[in-house]
Amino acid sequence: MSEQMLFRQVHPSWVVGEGISSQTFKPMPKDKYMLSMYDGDKFSAKESYEHFIAKDLQTSGVLGVTNTEFQAEDLNCSPDDEDFVGHILVDFSNLTKGQARKKAKKLRDAAVKRGWMYVEEKQEQEENETSD
Partner 1 sequence: MEKVQLFKPSFSGQRFTDHTLPFDILDDLSVYQDLLLQVAKDIYYQKNNSKRVPNGFGAGVYLKLSQLEEGSTIPTILLAAASFMAGTTDTKSYFEEAQQQITKAIAASQDDSEITGILSTEALSYFNKFGKNLREDEAIDFKPSWNGEAKLTQINRRKIVLASPTATSVESDIMIRGNISALNKDPFQFTFQGRDKSKIIVPIDKANYKTVEQAFLNFESDKRVLIEGVGVYNKQNKLEEIKEIKMIVILDRLDVPTILEGFNNYEDGWLNGEGNPFNKQELLWLSYQFDNYISRDLLLPFTFPMVEGGVQFEWKKGPHDTTIEVNLKDKSAYVHYYNSQSDDFSENTYDVSNLSGWIEINEELLKYFKAKEE
103-122 mask for partner 1 (x: CB under 8 A)?
A: --xx--x-------------
Cβ proximity to partner 1, 4 vs 102, nearer residue? 102
Measured CA to CA, the distance from residue 31 to residue 131 in angstroms comes to 38
**Binding residue for partner 1, selected from 98, 121, 131, 132, defined by CB under 8 A:** 98
In this structure, what are the phi and psi dihedrals at residue 52, rounded to the nearest 5 degrees? Answer: -70, -50
Residue type, position 97, single letter: K
CB of 19 to partner 1, least distance (A): 4
Q: In sequence order, which residues have a C-beta less than 8 Å from that of residue 99 and are 6 or more positions away?
A: none
In this structure, are residues 53 and 9 in contact, taking their beta carbons and an 8 Å threshold?
Answer: no
Residues binding partner 1 (CB under 8 A): 11, 13-14, 16-17, 19, 21-23, 28, 30, 57-58, 97-99, 101-102, 105-106, 109, 130
